[in-house]
Structure formats: structure tokens, C-alpha cells
Amino acid sequence: MTVSILIFLPVIAAVIVAFLRGDAAKYGALFFSIAELAIAGLFLSKFVPDATIQFRIDAPWIAKFGIYFSAGIDGISMIMVLLTTLLVPLIILTTFKHDQKNPGAFYGLILFMQAGLLVVFTALDGFLFYVGWEAALIPIYFICALWGGENRIRVTLKFFIYTFAGSLFMLVAIIYLYLQSPDKTFDIHSFYALKLTAQQQSWVFLAFFLAFAIKMPLFPFHTWQPDTYTEAPTGGTMMLSGIMLKMGIYGVIRWLIPNAPLGFAHWQALVMLLAVIGVVYASIIAFKQKDGKRLVAYSSIGHVGLIAAGIFAWNQQGVQGALIQMLNHGINVVGMFFIWDIISRRLNTREIGNLGGIAKVAPKFSIAFLIIVLGTVGLPLTNGFVGEFLLLNSVFQYSAYHYMNIALAIVAGTTIIWGAVYMLRMYKNVMQGELNELTTNFTDISGSETLVLGIICILIIGIGVYPQPIMHISDAAVNGLISTLNGKLSY
């Protein structure tokens, strides 16, 4: 059994679903996404949590140019596979109460995007990684452009230009590493073994970094994100925020730092500074937002900034914290965008100032909303606390080693305070207070809404109470990667 079944099933499913009409399309997409989740569960049951690559496929593709269809799963990849296969069926379920025009195309694009994401998270060949990267971009472009809001064309074009331009820099870096390889191969481990000079690694680092920083997005490469998240249909926003932005974070761990450790050492302090600036900047802007969906978009930038800071601190707590926080952020942000989708669909507004008192007429909705908010702000015994604790710990360790940067750690630590302020303030304004003419007829959640929010709340509490099984999956792979690369770093 190889990882190829995970990659090709969504492609086949996308083709089948594209020809379905009406409700058959959404039920078909849900069936295939659950089947994909079941297969991922089977892989997990057979996975040995060590540092080896498992379920590997290594077949000639364009062998003349050293290109192989090479993919596999280790502990780091497994977390991302679980994230992708878990969230896609939930995202499909969130769309069940929407009447999509041409639903076959919509759900087919979501499944095709899932295949591209899984290629990115499992690829062991640089060319295959790039193909997966672009394959995930194409469907989300059409999802946003065809099913988005009033300004979708302008916003989607900006998003496409940003991400495609970044991808070209990454392609240049991959081709350069290929040309330096004595065997003329795109194999990731051959790239790792290259002995490039510090200057060469610095340029490779910058080329990869531009692609990944735009995708995450990291300050100041974030300007495409709030508009795109706001204008995209909710399903597209969830795919972007819940899974797609993790491509950039994963790329940093798998392709950026291992391929350019000396370049990483040279630029580390600057990237840490940008990450922390992003945390504070996004939090301040989020505090001022009046549109609930846009507030969540800026909140996402702040959380990603802290994840980036943890990775670039480059210690065991930081990388482990980044991995579990990628999973947690995906769960929480999908839940938060679904909350605002429910409000928008019922009341035809996302203006926080127009709302109030909803908890009085929708108790189940108010409880789910509160649990998701608490997970987002990192309350102890929720999933957000585990990741944020590890990330802040890693940043403080970095600051202790680089004593001049202690202020950076203190500022990064304010992310919890900022998040609590604007998230709890949002909840208070939306759910508490008196009912008004708009909110008095708000109906409580039911059907697929209850199922999705119930699963998300169980995950938030379950991971928060007992995160060890997830951390155990990636522990050996993270330790192996850090110990290998620390020998190459020179501070």
C-alpha cells in the first residue's frame, strides 16, 4: 500500500463528481471525502512513529530529466495528511445548506484541490512538489472567481498574481538545486546532501522564502489575504485558511530550512522580526474590524505569525508546536468561518454592530460559538493552548540564546492577550446584550450545522485535554530533522 491511493482517489472522485447534478454532486463529494478520510485512518493505523519515510512510491515519471513520481509519509507529513483529509469532509458539509450554481463543478474543484494539497504534503521530488503546489492553486482560483462575492474578479486576480509570482521564485530555486545535484535529480534527499556555499544557500533561501511567505501569508506579504478570504465563498475561504496556507508553513519545514541551513542562519533574525510584527499588526487591525469574516481573516494572520516565529526559533518545541498548531488552527478557523457563514445566511449581514442577543434564541449555537472562540484564544484545556504554549516556549528559548532579542519574545507573548481581547469582544457584541429587530428571529442550528459544529467542538476539547497522541506521531521525525540540521548550522 503506497501513498498513491491517497493522491489519485480525489482526482478520480473530482472527475466523477463534476458530471453529477443537483444534490447528487454534494452527496457524492461527501462520500468520496469520507472514503479518503477512512484511507488516511488506515495509513495512520499502520504508521510507525519513527523518522523513516513510509508508504513510499518511487516510480519513473520523466526519468530522462531525473523526475520521479516520488512521495511518502513521515511523522511531519502524517499530521498534514490528517489535517487535509479531516477538514475536507467538514468543509463539504458546511456547504450543504447553500444552493450552489453548477454544484458538480464546485465540488469537483474542491476534490481536485485536495489531491494537489496531498501531493504537496507527501512529495519527495522537487518537480512533483511544484506540480502539486500549482495544482492546488488552479481550482481555488476558479472557486473564488466563479462563486465569490461582488468584487471577486479583482480580488482573485490579485491573489493569483501574488501566489503565482511567488511560485516562480520557488521554481527557480528547485531548478538551481537540480543543476547543482551531481546526479541531476530532483530528489529531496539529494538536495539535502548538497554542499552549497553560504552565499548560494542565502539566494536559495530567499527564493523559497518568497513563495512560502506569500502563501502563509507572512507580514508584509499578506495584503492579498483579507480581501480574498472575505470575497471567496465560505467553502473556498475554509480551504484557503484551513489547509492551503499550511502549504507555506510545511514548505518552510520540509524544503526551505533543510535545503538552505546557512541561508536560514543568515536571515533568521529578520524573519523572526517580521513574524512578530505580523502578530501585533494583524491583532491591532482585527480589533478595528466591523465585518466578522474580515476579523477572522486578520486573526488568522496573527496566528500564522506566531507559528512562523516558532519554526524560525528552530528548536524541538517550536517545530512540534507549529505542527500541532497547524492542525488546531485549521480546525478552529474552519469553525469560526462556519459560524459567520451561519450568521450571514440567516441575517444577510456580517456587521458585528448590527447583531446582539443571539444567545437568547440560539443556545446550541451560542455554546458552539463560545467553545470555538475559547479554542482560538488558547484557553487551557482547549486545542489552541497546546500549540501556543509550545510556540511561545520556543520563542523564549530563542531569545534566551540570542539575549538581544528578549523584547521579541515578550511582544510575541502578547498574541494571547490581543486574541482574547478582540475575540471575546466580538462574541459579547454578537451573542450577548438585547435582541433587536434583526436578531429576534434567528433560528438555532440544526442538521448538518449541528453535526459540523459538534465535531469541531469535540476536537477542540479532545486535543486540548489529551494532545499526546498527535504529538507522538511527529516527535521522532521532528527530532531527527532538527538534530541533522543543527550540525550544518553555524551561528
Asked which of 143-147, 306-310, 314-318, 409-413 is least confident by mean pLDDT, the reply is 409-413
Q: What pLDDT does 317 receive?
A: 86
447 and 346 inside one domain? yes
Q: Which three cell numbers stand for residue 44?
A: 495512520
Domain stops at, among 226, 259, 292: 259
Task: Compute the distance between CA of residue 346 and CA of residue 361 in angstroms, rounded to an integer.
Answer: 13
Q: What pLDDT does 491 receive?
A: 43
312 and 236 inside one domain? no
Mean pLDDT of the chain: 87
Instruction: State percent of the chain over pLDDT 70.
Output: 97
Q: What pLDDT does 133 receive?
A: 92
Q: Which three cell numbers stand for residue 243?
A: 489547509
Query: Tens digit of pLDDT for each residue in 192-219?
Result: 888 888 888 899 999 999 989 888 878 8
Query: Tens digit of pLDDT for each residue in 256-280?
Result: 999 888 888 888 888 888 888 888 8
Task: Compute the distance between CA of residue 370 and CA of residue 220 in angstroms, rounded to an integer.
Answer: 31
Q: How far is CA 387 from CA 59, 391, 478, in A?
A: 37, 6, 15
Query: Tens digit of pLDDT for each residue in 274-299?
Result: 888 888 888 888 888 888 888 888 88
CB 256 within 8 A of CB 340: no
194 and 292 inside one domain? no
252 and 265 inside one domain? no
Q: What pLDDT does 144 receive?
A: 82
54-62 and 67-73 as β-strands: parallel, antiparallel, unpaired?
antiparallel
For residues 150-158, give the mean pLDDT.
76
Instruction: Specify the pTM.
Output: 0.91
* Cα 160 versus chain centre, distance: 18
Q: Residue 337 pLDDT > 70, yes or no?
A: yes
18 and 74 inside one domain? yes
Collect all residues with Cβ–Cβ distance below 8 Å to 377 and sequence separation of at least 6.
384, 416, 419, 420, 423, 424
44 and 122 inside one domain? yes
At residue 409, the 3 state secondary structure works out as helix
Phi, psi of 125 (to 5 degrees): -125, 130
Q: What pLDDT does 128 receive?
A: 94
Residues 198-229, buried b or exposed e (16+ Cβ, 10 A)? eebbbbbbbbbbbbbbbbbbbbebbebbbbbb
Q: Which three cell numbers stand for residue 356?
A: 446582539
Domain stops at, among 241, 259, 277: 259
Q: What pLDDT does 401 receive?
A: 61
Higher confidence at residue 405 or residue 393?
393
At residue 465, the 3 state secondary structure works out as helix
Residue 253, CB-side half-sphere exposure with 13 Å CA sphere: 35
Provide the number of structural domains found in the chain: 2
335 and 215 inside one domain? no
246 and 267 inside one domain? no
Which residue's C-alpha cell is 492553486? 137
CB 123 within 8 A of CB 104: no
202 and 281 inside one domain? no
Q: What pLDDT does 161 receive?
A: 82
Q: What pLDDT does 441 receive?
A: 86
Q: Residue 3 pLDDT > 60, yes or no?
A: yes
343 and 451 inside one domain? yes
CB 422 within 8 A of CB 300: no
Q: Which domain holds residue 350?
A: 260-491
Region at 317 (left for phi over 0; alpha for psi -120 to 50; beta for the rest): alpha
Q: What pLDDT does 447 receive?
A: 87
272 and 233 inside one domain? no
Task: Compute the distance between CA of residue 60 and CA of residue 57 in angstroms, rounded to an integer.
Answer: 10
Q: Residue 147 pLDDT > 60, yes or no?
A: yes
Asked whether the bond before 217 is cis by omega within 30 degrees of 0, the reply is yes
Task: Compute the distance between CA of residue 261 and CA of residue 314 in angstroms, rounded to an integer.
Answer: 11
Q: What pLDDT does 400 receive?
A: 59
Residue 60 parent element (H or E): strand 54-62
312 and 440 inside one domain? yes
Domain stops at, among 225, 259, 293: 259
